[in-house]
C-alpha cells in the first residue's frame, strides 16, 4: 500500500526507506507499515492524504517545518488536518494490531 508522510522524519533500519519531507510517498508492505506507524511515523494512506486537498505547489513550497513556518493559514489548516488524520490512523492501526494479538 502507498503511504504519504505528513510530518517529521523517519528511517526504516536496514532498508533504504527514509522519510524526510511532507508528501513523500512510500510503497510499503504490511510489515513495514506496522513497524513505521507503530513507532510513530506520521503516515497516511495515499488516498486519505490526497483527500485533504494539498496542491502540488504547496507540497513543493512547504516540504519541511522550516519552510512551513511562513506558510499561509490555508496551508496550515490542511497540514493540521493531515496531522490529525495521521494520529487517528495510527490509533486505529494500533487498535487493530492489539485486536489481532489477543
pLDDT digits (tens, 9 = 90+) for 31-83: 898 889 988 999 999 999 999 999 999 999 999 999 999 999 999 999 999 99
Domain that holds residue 87: 2-100
d(CA 14, CA 75): 34
Which pLDDT tens digit goes with each residue over 3-37?
A: 999 999 999 888 889 999 999 999 999 889 888 99
Supply 75's cell numbers: 496551508
| Residue length of the chain | 102
Question: Angle at which helices 30-38 and 73-100 pack, to 10 degrees?
Answer: 110
Query: What is the number of structural domains in the chain?
Result: 1
The pTM is what?
Answer: 0.90
Amino acid at each position: 500500500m502507498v503511504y504519504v508522510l505528513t510530518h517529521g522524519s523517519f528511517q526504516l533500519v536496514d532498508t533504504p526507506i527514509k522519510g524526510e519531507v511532507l508528501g513523500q510517498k512510500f510503497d510499503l508492505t504490511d510489515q513495514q507499515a506496522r513497524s513505521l506507524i507503530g513507532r510513530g511515523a506520521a503516515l497516511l494512506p495515499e488516498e486519505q492524504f490526497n483527500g485533504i486537498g494539498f496542491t502540488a505547489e504547496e507540497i513543493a513550497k512547504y516540504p519541511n517545518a522550516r519552510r512551513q513556518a511562513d506558510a499561509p493559514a490555508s496551508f496550515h489548516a490542511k497540514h493540521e488536518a493531515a496531522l490529525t488524520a495521521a494520529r487517528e490512523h495510527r490509533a486505529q492501526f494500533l487498535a487493530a494490531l492489539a485486536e489481532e494479538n489477543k
